[in-house]
Amino acid sequence: MKDMFGMMKKVQEMQSKLGQVQAELEAMEVSGQSGGGLVQVTQTVKGQTKSISIDASLLKADEKEIVEDLLVAALNDARAKADQLTADKMGALTAGLPIPPGMKLF
């Protein structure tokens, strides 16, 4: 019974910290790049694109498809970093809780 109360207390603490972590994540930005840095993007962790930088050397009519591919790759790189950052923050939040594998709290 004591273990149950201890676990419930940890869950309550986690819930109170969850809102704080979510607010932190909303304010964080990640950068992704491709083509050795020729294309760079900055996004919020939630996925809103804030900026895109394309090196002038790519701005040639015959390289349109290359630029499009590099842009997609940079956006995907930023998304992967945002997902990892979210997983790390949430993992730290739930550390020590006996949560069954596969159970998602967020």
d(CA 106, CA 11): 13
d(CA 17, CA 68): 40
* Encoded amino acid at 19, one letter: G
Decide: residue 41, CB within 10 A, 0-12 exposed, 13-18 middle, 19+ buried. buried
In the prediction, which pLDDT does 18 show? 83
In the prediction, which pLDDT does 76 show? 93
pTM of the model: 0.64
d(CA 59, CA 71): 13
Q: Which of 71, 104, 76 is nearest to 90 (CA)?
A: 104
> Residue-wise pLDDT tens for the chain (106 aa)?
567 777 788 778 778 888 888 888 888 999 999 999 999 999 998 888 999 999 999 889 898 899 989 999 999 999 999 999 988 888 877 776 666 666 665 5
In the prediction, which pLDDT does 43 show? 92
The torsion angles phi and psi of 66, rounded to 5 degrees, stand at: -65, -45
Domains of the chain: 27-94 (3.30.1310.10)
